[in-house]
Amino acid sequence: MGRFKMLTALLLILTGGGVLHSAVGAPAVPESTGRWEGREGRILPVAVRNVQLEGAFWGQKIQVYLERTIPHSWQYMGHNLRSLRKAAGEKTDGPFNGTWDEANLYKLLETIAHSLGIRPDPALEQKVDEIVDLIGRAQRPSGYSHVYIINEGKPEWDPAFLDGSHDGYVLGHMIEAAIEYHANTGKRAFLDLACKAADEAYDHFLGPKGAPGFCGHAELEMALVELSRVTGRNRYVELAQAFVEWRGRGMVRPFGATPRSYFQDSVPLRQQRNLDGHAVRSTFFATGVADLALATGDPDYRLAANRFWDSVTLRRMTITGSTGPRHEHEAFGEDYELPNNGYYESCAACGLMDFAQRMFLLEGGSDAGDVMERVLYNAVLHGISLDGTHSYYQNPLSDTNRARYNSWVCCPPNLSRTLLQVGRYACASGGRDAYLNLFVAGTVKLPMKEGPVVLEIRTDYPWDGKVRIVVKPRKASRFAIHLRWPSWCEVATLAIQGTPIHPLPRTHRGYLRLEREWRDNEVIEFAMEMPVQLIEAHPMIRDCAGKVALQRGPLIYGFEGLDNDGKAAVELSDRPQFKVESRPELLGGIRVITGNDAEGRPIVAIPFYAMANRTNSVQEVWISQRGRTPSDAWWEGRLYRNANETKQAAVAPSPTEKDAR
């Protein structure tokens, strides 16, 4: 057990996981221990520039995002750039941006910052430098930067408008863009502007004349914690803590009949049991709470993050990794309220990716990697079209024969900034431990205690479960490589240097832990069997009762009328037989699942991420199966499981396992 975990466990015992701070009025903001700094062995995500993705899946997709999505995105930024020019004192005609869409420009700038880490582009960098200069000229002398408020002459951080003014949301995205631009270009100007703006927020809320409050759209919290890590300045963590601690105390006035849960303000954090309210705000809020748990070691934050995690991943997430089913207030519903035609905004999926990544860093369990994989390969990829120039705001699992609205609003730059970080979600390292959470083809350079270790990963994942890794340490040294054993995988084999490893060194956290003295060019071969699986849902999910979905590897499949004589709601026989066929000409090159329905007619399923990429069509993920009744067998807290589970995966943890985290 690492020092951090021991301290956390001790604190948990001493406090009973209870309240550390005053629960009445505005509590004093607790001193942070500034744990980001100098903690040897801390597991951190790998930098985007340290991962070169290759191959037919991610290699090609990243190319589409760099060459088509980014150029396509500029046409939606005109009003944001005009607003900056106006705030900078230039003469310009409208229309100008509203309260929140300024964040789109920052999300695009973050996307570009990641892209520059992947592939340098001097012309693009020059364009960003010019915008950074404009941002600097638009910024108030105090550091305040929200140009909508500046241009409208409205009060800054207006307590009567904090639920909807988006001051903090916009600033959060500005900070994240600035951090990534600095990381990938080495240029400080943008980061300095972001620090100046964050300092203004600190002074406004925590200075001598500080006024308690918080932005109703969470995002700033997670950005501030990251800014603290990058700059070593603990004040940003303190401000993030204040924004979290001040919730649930009636400080921000809701607009009209909006419930306080909409902006995570219904009760103080320590009493919040579930992730509630607006799904995008909620998932960003939960990410911020997990970040604070990481940055401060405060067990209350850790407990809250875990309550939120269980709430969303065990009771409130679709099989495709979407959350937030309600159209009204774009909100989470009750437990198991997961209608197939729900709202399911793409941004909420992006938020869940970040929350899952922080939960991996916080708890080190493979369940977080499982959720990242589910969300990424299904909900997130579905949100953006295969050609990278269309986007869906919603990601329903069932759809009528209607045109989907190509919505280039908040989601597209959120999706692109998420997708260009695939390498960062995939790998993490620190001390003598390296983690592979997503199986991506490419080359990864991992910082480790004994110097960088390069992993050359060859795989046709997600189409095939074979992963070949060549390990290249700077010098022969002892460390552990942790390969996530995906929750969907029941049977797999492992070999190192051609020698089969048996029994498999599985940990209770869901990884294969390969610790040894690694020498240059040693080869790991991990082969996961990838059959077509029939998945059933928890019987409390009403829309899925008695139905099944098809899954192969991490991909959820669905049916479009286009491939099935106009019908998507097919019925399987009681013993369906499936074939997996490669269709290089279809939808960018996919593998389809073929078989017959209960009447013997041929049927074709395609990956959920590729659905809604042709003309209008009826669509279904959950389908009926002749003779199937809802299962009320023991669910062990899970939401989805293989309807024909074999239990072969139940291998005991290796007796030599050590918890190195």
Which residues in this chain contact Zn ion in the complex, by CB under 5 A? Answer: 345, 347, 410-411
Per DSSP, helices labelled H in 364-428 are 366-374, 381-383, 411-419, 422-426
Please tell me the distance from the alpha carbon of residue 357 to that of residue 362, in angstroms, as a whole number. 9
Residue with tokens 């199966």: 625
272-276, long-range: CB < 8 A, 24+ apart: 272/248, 272/304, 272/307, 272/308, 273/307, 273/311, 274/307, 274/308, 274/311, 274/315, 274/316, 274/332, 274/335, 275/308, 275/311, 275/312, 275/316, 275/323, 275/332, 276/331, 276/332
Assigned token pair, 633: 């067998």
- Closer residue to Zn ion (CB): 479 or 609: 609
- Give a three-class secondary structure readout of 126-172: HHHHHHHHHHHHHCCCCCCCCHHHHHHCCCCCCCCCCCCCCHHHHHH
Measured CA to CA, the distance from residue 585 to residue 446 in angstroms comes to 36
Residue 199: phi and psi, rounded to 5, are -65, -35
CA–CA dist 312, 379 (Å, integer): 15
The residue among 47 and 384 lying less far from Zn ion, judged by its C-beta, is 384
Nearest CA among 661, 631, 400 for reference residue 509: 661
Helix spans in 253-410 (H)? 279-296, 299-315, 346-363, 366-374, 381-383
Q: How far is the CB of 351 from Zn ion (least distance, A)?
A: 9
Tell how far CA 217 is from the center of its chain. Answer: 17
User: Looking at the chain, how many residues does it have?
Assistant: 661
Q: Quick one: 191 or 347, whose CB is closer to Zn ion?
A: 347
What is the residue whose two structure tokens read 């029941």? 490
Shortest spacing between CB 151 and Zn ion, in angstroms: 23
DSSP designation for 474: S
From the CB of 222, what's the least distance to Zn ion, in Å? 16
Q: Which is nearer to Zn ion, 265 or 345 (CB)?
A: 345
Q: Which is nearer to Zn ion, 347 or 593 (CB)?
A: 347
Bridge partners, residue 547, by sequence: 624
* 141: preceding bond cis by omega (within 30 degrees): no
Residue 317: Cβ-neighbour burial (10 angstroms; 0-12, 13-18, 19+): buried
Of the pair 347, 448, the CB lying nearest Zn ion is at 347
Q: In terms of CB distance, is 280 or 453 closer to Zn ion?
A: 280
Contact in structure between 581 and 591 (CB atoms under 8 Å):
yes
| DSSP count for the chain of H helices, then E strands | 18, 23
To Zn ion, the closest distance from the beta carbon of 324 in angstroms equals: 10
SS3 44: strand
Query: Min. distance of Cβ 248 from Zn ion in angstroms?
Result: 25
Cβ-based nearer residue to Zn ion, 234 or 416: 416
By beta-carbon proximity to Zn ion, the closer residue of 298 and 345 is 345
Nearest distance in Å: CB 388, Zn ion: 17
State the nearest-atom distance from the C-beta of 649 to Zn ion, in Å.
36
State which residue, 278 or 424, has the beta carbon closest to Zn ion: 278
Closest distance to Zn ion from the beta carbon of 405 (Å): 13
State the nearest-atom distance from the C-beta of 345 to Zn ion, in Å: 5
Nearer Cβ to Zn ion (222/347): 347
**189 to each of 62, 177, 227, 606, how far by Cα in Å?**
27, 12, 14, 46
**Cβ at position 258, least distance to Zn ion in Å:** 18
CB of 219 or CB of 525, closer to Zn ion: 219
Name the E strands within 383-438. 398-399, 427-430, 433-436
**Pairwise CA distance, residues 577 & 509, whole Å:** 34
Which of 476, 612, 465 has the alpha carbon at shortest distance from 525? 465
Q: Which residue is nearest to Zn ion (CB)?
A: 347
* Smallest separation (angstroms) from Zn ion to the CB of 100: 10
| Nearest distance in Å: CB 276, Zn ion | 18
Instruction: Give the shortest CB-414-to-Zn ion separation in angstroms.
Output: 6
Query: Closest CB to Zn ion among 116 and 410?
Result: 410
Backbone φ and ψ of 295, nearest 5°: -80, -30
